A and B are shown apart, each in its own frame.
Chain A
Amino acid sequence: KNQVEQSPQSLIILEGKNCTLQCNYTVSPFSNLRWYKQDTGRGPVSLTIMTFSENTKSNGRYTATLDADTKQSSLHITASQLSDSASYICVVSDRGSTLGRLYFGRGTQLTVWP
């Protein structure tokens, strides 16, 4: 069964600290993996996208890594800011259909405290 599992479910860190969010998936065949940031009451916004051949992708203070062999990805946030408080969603796309179906994780709820 194609699934996307994220950990931890929630995380609280102090402003200025770093953190790493995890994503494990069983989606096959694999096309790409995205990390989205979803602020409370808003729609998700894409942070990074990686295909099979890409191991790492950065977007400012966000760095995503992908290990396609172990089917794991991580999102590292450096020098966290209060505005980083949000849900971070891992999304994996397959190549099994013309739709390029997306499998969503439940997200990690990150709270940054001052």
Chain B
Amino acid sequence: EADIYQTPRYLVIGTGKKITLECSQTMGHDKMYWYQQDPGMELHLIHYSYGVNSTEKGDLSSESTVSRIRTEHFPLTLESARPSHTSQYLCASSESDPGQGKETQYFGPGTRLLVL
């Protein structure tokens, strides 16, 4: 069982509200990721970070923003939520590649977001 946590697990919010999804890991991993997953669909990378003060956008365009002020914490923020943001958001972390091409990402339980 990986030590990576996400809060809240479920969130129902109205359009236009600002929200922050929390993600924390206690494994000391440098790399962290945010994915978006709709039911029955594949995961899409929306943000990633290689370490403190490093953040990059992923493959799927997202209106969300992230920050990495501490190694263990990688929050995702939506300034103005819309119904199109309704989805499941998964946070993951991984240690730097040990050099054998077997880097594994450990996932949190996810946050299910519903924007009305």
- Please determine whether chains A and B interact with each other in the same assembly: yes
In the complex, what distance in Å separates the CA atom of A85 from the CA atom of B4?
23
Nearest Cβ in chain B — how far from A37, in angstroms? Answer: 11
Contact residue range for chain B?
20 to 34
B109-A43 in contact (CB<8A): yes
A32 interface residue per 8 A CB criterion: yes
Main secondary structure of the interface of B (DSSP, over half): loop
Q: Given the known A-B contacts A51-B101, A93-B101, A106-B40, are A43 and B92 also in contact in the complex, defined by CB atoms under 8 Å?
A: yes
Within 8 Å by CB of B109, from A31, A42, A100, A105, lies: A42
A interface residues (Cβ-Cβ under 8 A, vs B): 4, 31-32, 34, 41-46, 49, 51, 89, 93, 95, 99-102, 104-107, 109
Which positions in B face A, CB cutoff 8 Å?
2, 4, 6, 40-45, 48, 59, 90-92, 97, 100-110, 112
